Chains A and B, each alone.
Chain A
Amino acid sequence: MPDNIIEVRNLKKTYPGGTEAVRDVTFDVRAGEFFGFLGPNGAGKTTTINMLVNLVKRTSGDITIDGLKLEEQPREIYRRIGFAMQEVGLDETATAREMLELHGRLYHLPKARIDSQIDKLLKLVELEKVADRFTQTYSGGMRRRFDLALSLIHEPKILFLDEPTQGLDPHARQLIWNHLRDLNRDGMAIFLTTHFMEEAEALCNRIAIMDKGEIVTEGTLEELLEKHSAKSLEEVFLSTTGSNLGDEEVNLNASDPYARARS
């Protein structure tokens, strides 16, 4: 097994309108690591994570996941990764159980394993009692939890999470944090983008802060505090990203056809 489960070299993304969303980003994520990717709105976090999972085409740079080049073996990589996106995209006309079963089938898992995974995951996210209800009846918190379960159906080696607790109440957030800690303890590498400092502090082994498409600092929490003579991650964040109010997000999203569709 490679030491680095994710290797990103000189990654760039320039959208057709000319907006440079990601500018020459290089970083590694180690096997079994809980890696936090922080940044203000519009910093390029979502574009980066979307390039890592092949949902956005990169302008240049190399991405290697679990020793495999993204452009050479994308389907092999898809088998090894799970992704809970910022937008919780669910099939509103299906029940949670149906969706989990479909995803298990599409990951080509044997039926017995699908059944055991469904039971385990529904229990994990505390949705056993509503498993046969259509997902359109779920609250925001239930949808987030279910989305997490869906991304775990094939027991991926690496879990990508894009703002997984956004819009959740403290109880639901704590519940998800506990699940993520357990998954990481069991050996799963987790790549988390967030702009909640306390989330990164509570969960991540190592943190990179991104601003205006570039990584401005990277290290463990202790390393970052020492390097920036700060008392908290929030201080590190503010000192490295300045007073960026995230105005660029509008421009970045305008270049994303899916974002246009949502607006």
Chain B
Amino acid sequence: MATFFSDWYYLSIRSIKQIWRPLLALIPSLFIPLFFFVVNSTSLSAFSKVPGFPKVSYRDFIAPVALFTAVFFSSGNAGIELAQDISNGYFKKLLIMPISRLTIILGRLTEVAVQAVMQGSIVLILLLATGVRINTGILGLLAIFAMLILFAMAWSCLSMITALRTQNVRLVQSMFVIVFPFLYLTTSQAPMNLLPPAFRLFATYNPVTYVIEGVRALVLNSWSAPAIWQGFLVASVLFVIMVSFTLSSFNRTLK
């Protein structure tokens, strides 16, 4: 058992180093969420005056989305790196080591969690600097990161499953665009009651909506908001389902 944890640790360290190698690769996933935040909070600020909009500024309304997006955008890297390992043959070297194969996936998930905290923290500091406040305090902040980490790990599994099933780096990279419909067919830009009916239907069935609403409730509301536990529930269920599928794909790849 001790070797299981030490294998997980060393594989995690290897994966975590890949986050900043090269350092420049970090910039887009930090810049783009902030870019959208600045552009949207400026150009759509009048939206907060529309009847039915919550009693908050538009900047505060979309601040949780910037936090979420920073994590969302970066969670695909684990799959890309896994696909690279497979395509260049390094993955095979790992397979013939006296380690549990589960630790290979856990190492990648740990990388996702660390990157989520790193990128989320940078975006959070910048949001706080612009005057955004977290209503649920320090505990709420921890809850936000817990929810984001769970979701990021679940979402990263999608790219890892693609990597394991196709062994194709380009295909895994192209999966990135799926982020956009999942991000925009939600309440990220407007509350549910102001969405057109068809859009509302998509948003209702889109799990991302519940995670965004959960983070938003932790930023804007109090602990009594049902959106918080709903967000945790959705992120946790997604995590369990996606990790199970990833492990199943992993086992299938070896046959």
Contacts and interface: CB of A to CB of B under 8 A. Distances in A.
Interface of A: 53-55, 57, 75-76, 78-79, 81, 83, 85, 87-94, 98, 102-103, 105-108, 134, 150, 257-258, 260-262
Given A78-B98, A108-B3, A94 B167 contact: no
CB-CB nearest 5 A-B residue pairs: A89-B89, A261-B167, A89-B90, A87-B89, A75-B98
A90 B17 CA distance: 15
B90 A91 contact: yes
Interface in B71-127: 84-99
B167 A105 contact: no
A89 B252 CA distance: 21
B20 to A, nearest CB: 10
12 contacts: A55-B95, A55-B96, A75-B98, A83-B96, A89-B85, A91-B85, A91-B90, A93-B21, A106-B7, A106-B11, A108-B98, A261-B166
B248 interface: no
A256 to B, nearest CB: 10
B136 interface: no
A241 B84 CA distance: 37
A258 B10 contact: no
Contacts of A257: 167, 253
B168 interface: yes
Nearest to A134: B21
Given A57-B255, A91-B85, A258 B92 contact: yes
Given A87-B89, A94-B17, 8 more contacts: A57-B254, A75-B99, A76-B98, A85-B93, A89-B89, A107-B98, A150-B93, A258-B89
A92 B10 contact: no
A167 to B, nearest CB: 14
Given A57-B255, A261-B167, A85 B92 contact: yes
A81 to B, nearest CB: 7
B18 interface: yes
A53 B96 contact: yes
A91 B14 contact: yes
A106 B99 contact: yes
A81 B96 CA distance: 9
Interface of B: 3, 6-7, 10-11, 13-14, 17-18, 21, 84-99, 166-168, 253-255
Most A C-beta atoms less than 10 A away, residue of B17, B92, B254: B92
B173 to A, nearest CB: 14
A244 to B, nearest CB: 26
Nearest to A258: B167
B2 to A, nearest CB: 9
A79 B98 contact: yes
Contacts of B254: 57
Nearest to A106: B97
Contact of B17 (A88, A93, A105): A93
Nearest to A151: B93
A181 to B, nearest CB: 24
Contacts of B92: 55, 85, 89, 258
Given A257-B167, A261-B86, A261-B166, A89 B98 contact: no
A57 B95 CA distance: 13
B10 A102 contact: yes
Contacts of B91: 89
Contacts of A78: 96-98
Contacts of B14: 91, 94, 98, 102
Nearest to A55: B92
Most B C-beta atoms less than 10 A away, residue of A83, A98, A107, A258: A258
A260 B83 CA distance: 13
B97 A92 contact: no
B96 A54 contact: yes
Contacts of B96: 53-55, 78, 81, 83
Contacts of B255: 57
B38 to A, nearest CB: 32
A53 B97 CA distance: 10
Contacts of B87: 258, 261-262
